[in-house]
Amino acid sequence: MNDTFLKACRGEKTDYTPIWIMRQAGRYLPEYQKVRGKVTFLELCKTPELCVEVTLQPIDILNVDAAILFSDILIPLEAMGAPLEFHEGHGPVFPEPIRNQADLDKLIVPDPEEHTGFVMDTIGLLRKELNVPLIGFSGAPFTCATYLIEGGSSKVFWETKKMMYTNPELFHNMMRKITDTTTLYLKAQAKAGAQALQIFDSWAGVLAPCDFKTFALPYVQEIIRDLQDTGLPIIYFANNGATLLEMSESSGANVLGLDWRINIGDAIKRIGNVAVQGNLDPFSLLLPKVELKKRIGRILDDAKDAKGHIFNLGHGIHQFTPPDQAKSAVEFVHELSQK
Ligand code: 1CP
């Protein structure tokens, strides 16, 4: 069993810097496309045998040090009772967005085993196959709320901020329900066998620091506090969160994910008590290999004083990335960080 990733999460010494890649199972891999060609995205998410297959693909192809469950942050939101559709080429759509208390009252706090048993089954099957640790995950409540309120992806978050500013009570009621759902969902993943948990706050960076503090952070803190009895390392990734680092550290997470917009050494000076994960610009994978290797060396060097460092991209790998470049990045991290 390769436990380098788990050691780095806990801030223990490792023989080399472990690496995994956000969205490592996905469309940039022809092997994924082949499986995905036969089913819709939601069918894929709900078929444990296929989820296992695509979760394992990057482990074999790239030689990464951790696996991440194949699923999506929107799966537990559908389980709350919000119909979810994926339109090819357009991403997720919630055709019945949540805009008032009556909409919200229709949503439930689902029992994770009953409504998302396929996720727990996938985790159980994966643990029998894997020789690297398995990361379970969820969205952070704020990021989840944006999809439910906007009715899908957004760039400006008009409806979300409108609710926050004009009806904060409704917004908090909604965060309450999503938080309760997320806590139960992550606890169920831990029980099923996940060995670390990552909370994706993909849209945290659109908030003013004072709003992050009022409307988003307390719910993340609560989830992490309630997960303490699982004993699992928790990774909190607030994308575009360089201005939110100190507050993110107060989330209680063991590891903070960093996007590429901040120098990793500068970040470590500000958040010395936690391990860090990141932070190569996903588009750096397009650099000629010699340049890519230099950049990776620079990040490893800048992160040398970290309490623990897990190498990763600063956000998900782009769908048009040549897999061979991702494979080289993994090799370079392993080679350059060898103690
Ligand atoms: O057509 C397809 O095959 C669907 C593409 C795809 C894939 C492969 C989507 C649609 N989701 C996923 C898998 C996925 N999503 C994983 C597991 C794979 C892995 O990491 O190896 C994970 C962890 C996620 C998490 C996720 N989904 C996030 C948080 C991470 C991030 O990138 O910020 C978010 C925001 C989503 C929502 C989502 N899922 C898919 C789309 C197109 C979107 C919308 C993104 C947006 O609003 O811009």
Is 90's pLDDT higher than 90?
no
Indicate the top mutation candidate among 45, 51, 62, 73 to test ligand 1's pocket, ranked by most ligand atoms within 8 A of CB. 73
Q: Which residues of 264-291 are buried (b: 16+ CB within 10 A; e: fewer)?
A: beebbeebeebbbbbbbbbebbebeeee
111, 124, 191, 242, 248 from 204: Cα distances, Å: 27, 31, 28, 10, 10
Q: Are 292 and 335 in contact (CB under 8 A)?
A: no
Predicted structure pTM score: 0.97
Tokens 């060097």 appear where?
Answer: 301
Q: What is the pLDDT of residues 257-288, one digit of tens each?
A: 999 999 999 999 999 899 999 999 999 999 99
Is 339's pLDDT higher than 80?
no
Indicate the top mutation candidate among 19, 20, 23 to test ligand 1's pocket, ranked by most ligand atoms within 8 A of CB. 23
> ipTM score here?
0.92
pLDDT above 90 coverage of the chain, percent: 98
Tokens 């909370």 appear where?
Answer: 199
Is 241's pLDDT higher than 80?
yes
99 alpha carbon to ligand 1 midpoint, in Å? 24
The whole-number average pLDDT for the span 185-213 is: 98
What domains sit in the chain, N to C, each tagged with a CATH number?
4-337 (3.20.20.210)
Is 88's pLDDT higher than 90?
no
Distance between CA atoms of 101 and 91, rounded to whole angstroms? 26
The per-residue DSSP string of 135-181 comes to EEEEE-HHHHHHHHHHTB--SS-HHHHHHHHH-HHHHHHHHHHHHHH
7, 40, 112 from 156: Cα distances, Å: 39, 28, 31
Q: What is the pLDDT of residues 151-167, one digit of tens each?
A: 999 999 999 999 999 99
165 is in an annotated binding site: no
